[in-house]
Structure 1
Amino acid sequence: MNMTFRWYGRGNDTVTLEQVKQIPGVKGIVWALHEKAAGEVWKKEEIVREVEYIESMGFHAEVVESVNVHESIKLGNEESKMYIENYKESIRNLGEFGVKVICYNFMPIFDWTRTDMHHPLPDGSTALFFEKVKIERLDPRELVREVSEASNLTLPGWEPEKLARIGELFEAYKEINEEKLWNHLEEFLQEILPVAEASGIQMAIHPDDPPWSIFGLPRIITGPESYERLRKISDSPSNGITMCTGSMGANPENDMTAIAKKYAGMAPFSHIRNVKIFENGDFAETSHYTEDGSIDIRGVVKALYQQDYTGYVRPDHGRHIWGEKCRPGYGLYDRALGIMYLHGLWDAYKAMEDERNA
């Protein structure tokens, strides 16, 4: 596995690349032009500036997360073609500077949803939390206010220019059901996949987070059946997935070990994290350690090891520990611990295999 670390850029992250260099085994930085609004073209001069800085610190810059998909594309409205053309140009520009994977999602309005950014855990740390009843009772505009006030840094997928139009967007999505959203995803992929192939880039769609409908909005990347339908859209080698154990695994019906065994070949990029799922439908982010949550992280890593997985991997949301002040879910300390746990599992499976072959 090719270990990476997500980073939000100079001036937009509490973590520095000098600090990331001290985490053993990290080869690459997962990056993005976070100041760009969804739908804008990523220009070559902007891309090269980030890539050269990341590479100057000894990392590769082969994974971008995310080139956000404009809501017009998801809605399939009259502006969608313009934004698809912009997306194609961004793909071409990124390919020119060595990017190999673009992570993206197709979630309406909210790229991810939590109700508490700093939920207290029994060990004294805090973490992201999803309270099902609160979501069912809450006006989404109130959620926007609460989440935005919980961080003094920009939150990916919660772009101010989009959230300022939240009422308008909810009205537009009244006409969009899951089938229509699938149709718009297919139209998008049929347009961009040839460009991605020609640019040497794999597109890796991220599962919906959480993997079920909220606020009446359609969700379509929710389980293994979604991956089967995605494959039917196109057999292009650029039509891939981001396997996220915490997002898809928040639904206990999704067996992430089985999904890793079956779909790792579709996944050039994997997010590995743990969540604790409660009987009432709530879930809390936890450490990566298998026993702390409901996801069989050991089983997932074993499935990847047995397939000699060479894709890009990153630890995902970490707890806020040891008094760290950071972007919710994206501090240094707990993600560094997560990396070492994932490395430890991988090394243990390798040692067991070596013993059997001795």
Structure 2
Amino acid sequence: MIEIAEIVTSADPKDFWRNLRQMNITKVVSSLPRGSLDWRSLSPTDDPWSYTALAIHQEKLAEWGFETSVIEDSPPLDPIRFGLSGREEAVTHVIEMIKAMGRLGIPTWCYNWNGATEWLRTQQAVVGRGGALVAGYRHSTLDHNDLTKYGHVEPETLWANLSWFMERVLPVAENAGVRLAMHPDDPPVPEVRGISRIMNSLEGYDRLFEEFPSSANAMTLCQGNFTLMTDDLPAAIRKYGNEDRIAFVHFRDVAGTPEHFVETFHDEGKTDMLACMRAYDEIGYSGVMRSDHVPLMSGDTQDVPGYGRISRHFAIGYMTALREAATSSGGLQ
């Protein structure tokens, strides 16, 4: 059964958590507990990726009836991505987190390999349907001669550092029963300000799974990025699903190209969302999927662009209906 989840943070108003439970959301995706943890405090020596921090945060979520299914956050990864001094310490933090997740029964870690800029938008208030505000990306807005502090980074450098990382963490993940779900580069362009991007195509994922065939090596299938990588997203879902490589799904949509796109409501982008939901059903996907990058509707607020609360309510209802249509024996034609 496809499980619909939602991302929660310690900073969320608890009315939002209550709304999620009212919509029958029991599985949640969590960031690391970097903020206040209610009345229970941690000592300054407890990093947010430690067992203690994660255990307290998981217990807090459980008090609301939530089961933590994914950690979508990480200790600092740039020293590892770019092969810098300090990467040995950085990888020990990742290993500590994976072991803690295994002990706590949290099965999936969502991470990415687009260093320096992480996910990137150049626009935050494009006027969308009915006056809703949407985020967007225009590649030409950026001065790509204005390099980041890391300078030029070639694709093979990133692949070599990924190999170094995988050699150390995949055995730990296998033993812990945790899957590493690589998120695509966002936006999926070849380079941003001198930093190459290697998870920006289906070919990149094919290489990822060929070079590191461990069952713990998987993907976050973020539809907003994948629909910019391929003209047939349902086929890609079936391909990677049949290879058992999809550990987590971001169910969202965009309009445009990798170089210039805007985010959309779930029912108005370029993707046939019902065909995608049917593809997940066909492959027997039983992991979690969450809404992602929603427009900001009138009367709503957001702490991060793309994470308004009212629009996520709309998205959850839409996804729930699509799931019913896709899994019903009669179905919608």
Same fold, TM exceeding 0.5?
yes
What corresponds to 2:41 in structure 1? none
The offset of 1:281, in angstroms, is 3.9
The offset of 1:131, in angstroms, is 2.0
Q: 1:285 to 1:195 in 2, by over 3 A?
A: same
SS of alignment partner, residue 113 of structure 1: coil
The offset of 1:276, in angstroms, is 1.1
Matched-pair contact (CA < 8 Å) for 1:88–1:192: yes
What corresponds to 1:157 in structure 2? none
2:275 to 287, 291, 299: 299
What corresponds to 2:106 in structure 1? 99
Q: 1:44 to 1:326 in 2, by over 3 A?
A: same
- Worse-superposed segment, 14-23 or 239-248: 14-23
Q: Under a length normalisation based on structure 1, what TM-score does the superposition of the two structures give?
A: 0.82
The offset of 1:179, in angstroms, is 0.9
Q: 1:320 to 1:354 in 2, by over 3 A?
A: closer
> How do 1:214-225 residues align onto structure 2 when only pairs under 5 Å count?
214-225=192-203
The offset of 1:223, in angstroms, is 1.5
Q: Does 1:28 align with 2:7?
A: no
What corresponds to 1:235 in structure 2? 213
What corresponds to 1:49 in structure 2? 56
The offset of 1:68, in angstroms, is 4.2
Tell me how far apart the structure 2 counterparts of residues 205 and 49 of structure 1 sit (CA, whole Å): 26
- Worse-superposed segment, 89-98 or 194-203: 89-98
Q: 1:84 to 1:13 in 2, by over 3 A?
A: farther
What corresponds to 1:257 in structure 2? 234
Runs of 4+ in structure 1 off by over 4 angstroms are 12-15
Query: Which residue identity is paired with 2:208?
Result: L
The offset of 1:350, in angstroms, is 2.2
Query: Which residue identity is paired with 1:75?
Result: F
Q: Does 1:70 align with 2:77?
A: yes
SS of alignment partner, residue 227 of structure 1: helix
What corresponds to 1:276 in structure 2? 255
Query: Which residue identity is paired with 1:115?
Result: T
Query: Which residue identity is paired with 1:239?
Result: N
What corresponds to 1:86 in structure 2? 93
Q: Does 1:310 align with 2:291?
A: no
Matched-pair contact (CA < 8 Å) for 1:210–1:247: yes
- Worse-superposed segment, 181-190 or 330-339: 330-339
Query: Which residue identity is paired with 1:202?
Result: R
Q: Between Structure 1 and Structure 2, which shows a larger proportion of helix residues? A: 1
- Structural RMSD (CA): 2.3
Query: Which residue identity is paired with 1:53?
Result: K
SS of alignment partner, residue 21 of structure 1: helix
What corresponds to 1:189 in structure 2? 166
Tell me how far apart the structure 2 counterparts of residues 41 and 350 of structure 1 sit (CA, whole Å): 38
What corresponds to 2:184 in structure 1? 207
Tell me how far apart the structure 1 counterparts of residues 290 and 109 of structure 2 sit (CA, whole Å): 14
Query: Which residue identity is paired with 1:313?
Result: M
Matched-pair contact (CA < 8 Å) for 2:253–2:271: yes
Q: Residue by residue, what CA displacement relative to the aligned partner does 1:183-225 show, whole Å, maximum 9, x if unpaired?
A: 1111101110110111110010000000012212110011211
What corresponds to 1:18 in structure 2? 18
Tell me how far apart the structure 2 counterparts of residues 273 and 172 of structure 1 sit (CA, whole Å): 31
Tell me how far apart the structure 2 counterparts of residues 308 and 89 of structure 1 sit (CA, whole Å): 32
Matched-pair contact (CA < 8 Å) for 2:77–2:90: yes
Q: Residue by residue, what CA displacement relative to the aligned partner does 1:4-48 show, whole Å, maximum 9, x if unpaired?
A: 101122x36686312221223x22111022528xxx672222111
Q: Residue by residue, what CA displacement relative to the aligned partner does 1:131-158 show, whole Å, maximum 9, x if unpaired?
A: 23212x4787xxxxxxxxxxxxxxxxxx
Unaligned runs of 5+ in 1: 141-166
- Worse-superposed segment, 332-341 or 345-354: 345-354
Q: Does 1:319 align with 2:286?
A: no
SS of alignment partner, residue 322 of structure 1: coil
What is the number of equivalent residue pairs in this alignment?
317
What corresponds to 2:306 in structure 1? 329
The offset of 1:233, in angstroms, is 2.1
Q: Residue by residue, what CA displacement relative to the aligned partner does 1:39-82 show, whole Å, maximum 9, x if unpaired?
A: x6722221111100111111101211022442110111232122
Tell me how far apart the structure 1 counterparts of residues 52 and 298 of structure 2 sit (CA, whole Å): 38
Matched-pair contact (CA < 8 Å) for 2:145–2:194: no
Tell me how far apart the structure 2 counterparts of residues 123 and 281 of structure 1 sit (CA, whole Å): 25
Tell me how far apart the structure 1 counterparts of residues 234 and 15 of structure 2 sit (CA, whole Å): 31
1:244 to 222, 225, 239: 222
SS of alignment partner, residue 250 of structure 1: helix
Q: 1:337 to 1:62 in 2, by over 3 A?
A: same
Query: Which residue identity is paired with 1:187?
Result: W
Tell me how far apart the structure 2 counterparts of residues 263 and 272 of structure 1 sit (CA, whole Å): 16
The offset of 1:180, in angstroms, is 1.0
Tell me how far apart the structure 1 counterparts of residues 290 and 315 of structure 2 sit (CA, whole Å): 9
